């Protein structure tokens, strides 16, 4: 069976480059902020999921020289 879906490959250069998830606001060549955040549902109580969410948030925060917290937001507010 042949699919007509297009597969877009994801490369680190694209993820962290100018069109990716970070932004260089002052033009010094270093990423200053994030264009993304992590949305979680209200009432999330699974400690294992929280550990992974916080791990991802810390990893994203480590990619930029400045940060406008919070990285983790309520899913409904993050979508707005």
Q: What is the chain's pLDDT, residue by residue, as a tens digit (80 residues)?
A: 566 777 767 777 778 777 888 899 899 988 889 988 899 999 999 999 999 999 999 999 988 998 888 889 888 876 66
- Rounded distance between C-alpha atoms, residue 74 and residue 62, angstroms: 21
> CA-based Rg of the chain, rounded to a whole angstrom?
16
Q: Does 7 map to a domain?
A: no
In which domain, by residue range, is 55 found? 12-79
Cβ(75)–Cβ(41) below 8 Å: yes
Q: What is the pLDDT of residue 78?
A: 66
**What is the domain count for the chain?**
1
pTM over 0.85: no
- Rounded distance between C-alpha atoms, residue 32 and residue 24, angstroms: 5
Q: Does 5 map to a domain?
A: no
4-to-8, 10, 11, 21, 29 alpha-carbon distances in Å:
13, 19, 22, 28, 39
């Amino acid at each position: 069976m042949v699919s007509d879906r297009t597969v877009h490959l994801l490369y680190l250069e694209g993820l962290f480059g100018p069109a990716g998830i970070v932004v260089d606001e002052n033009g010094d060549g270093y990423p200053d902020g994030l264009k993304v955040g992590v949305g979680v549902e209200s009432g999330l109580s699974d400690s294992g999921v929280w550990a992974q969410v916080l791990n991802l948030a810390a990893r994203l925060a480590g990619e930029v020289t400045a940060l406008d917290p919070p990285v983790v937001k309520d899913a409904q507010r993050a979508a707005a």
